Amino acid sequence: MNNNSLLSHRSEEPENGILYMVGTPIGNLNDISQRALNILQNVSLVACEDTRQTKKIMSKFNISNKLISFNQHNSSIKIPKIVKGLKEGKSIAIVSDAGMPGICDPGEDITKRVKSEGIDIICIPGACAAITAILSSGMSSSSFVFEGFLPKKKIDREKILLEISKNEKTTIIYESPKRLKKLLNELLEFCGEDREIMVARELTKKFEEHVGNNINKVIEFFTDKDIIGEITIVIKGIRKRDFNPNKSIIKKDLNDLINAGLSLSAASKYLAKKNGLKKSEVYNLI
């Protein structure tokens, strides 16, 4: 396809009966693309995570269009209506408050449903906090793990933290400012004080901040501070030979499994496989 045909195709957007996943800025409104602005101006309607946030973009670029709310609280009601509109030939854009819709928000649910209905989805690329943070961190970005927001339930949360502690790939996490200090202390417990991390705050905004070093230094930096703004954390992967499992956690898991009715032998075998240890190493912890 030559450049002229590419330009011709773009000028015809938006097309009828298409769902557009539109990337919006993560802070700096000037990061939005001309293609995204064209979609927001000309689709039949724009479904927003928060209409108040989307109105800021529409206002800055003098765009007027119909906005509807589409978020985690009303997605079960709104998804069938959006699908119905698409089948009727409407073009609909999905936007989140910031970044790419579908990354840690209900956009993921709508894409699954729309694809199952045989409706086309087109992504209009834009800023993403995870990618912006990892590229700013200087850590390996050729292969990484994105965990989004960690689960709140303790057992699920600890399972992922243990996986992060053993991961050879760079890990990216989102966190709210009010829970950052708790997460940093959990990372200290599971990963050890020397693990390299970077906390990125207010990405692309005027007061963008990168706080990096080992976990202890980062905890020290935030100790007496009131934390505001969106938070992205990048955690360096380990070299396999450097992995040193947290034996106090394994011992606790061992006791819990024995108290739940497993034999010492069975519990030791399970935890050895899970943590990449010899059965005798786990057995001796008791």
- Tell me: pLDDT of 253 over 90: no
Of the given ranges (21-25, 64-68, 85-89, 106-110), which has the lowest mean pLDDT?
106-110
CA 33 from centroid of its chain's CA atoms: 22
- Tell me: pLDDT of 7 over 50: no
Domain spans in the chain, listed from the N-terminal domain onward: 3-127, 130-241, 247-283
The highest-level CATH class for domain 3-127 is alpha beta
144, two tokens: 């990484």
Of the given ranges (206-220, 235-249, 256-270), which has the lowest mean pLDDT?
235-249
Tens of pLDDT along 92-139? 999 999 999 988 877 888 999 999 999 999 999 999 999 999 999 999
Per-residue pLDDT, 100: 94
Classify domain 130-241 by CATH number. Answer: 3.30.950.10
Region of 58 on the Ramachandran plot (φ > 0 left; ψ -120 to 50 alpha; else beta): alpha
Per-residue pLDDT, 3: 46
Per-residue pLDDT, 12: 87
Flag whether the pTM goes above 0.75.
yes
232, two tokens: 């992205």
Per-residue pLDDT, 5: 44
More confident residue, 285 or 57: 57
When pLDDT is cut at 50, 70 and 90, the band that residue 6 belongs to is: very low
Percent of the chain with pLDDT over 90: 68
Contact, 213 vs 236, CB < 8 A? no
Q: Whose CA is closest to 170, among 138, 212, 204?
A: 138
Of the given ranges (15-29, 41-55, 92-106, 270-284), which has the lowest mean pLDDT?
270-284
Mean pLDDT of the chain: 89
More confident residue, 251 or 240: 251
Buried b (16+ CB within 10 A) or exposed e, 240-263: eeeeebbeebbeebbeebeeeebe
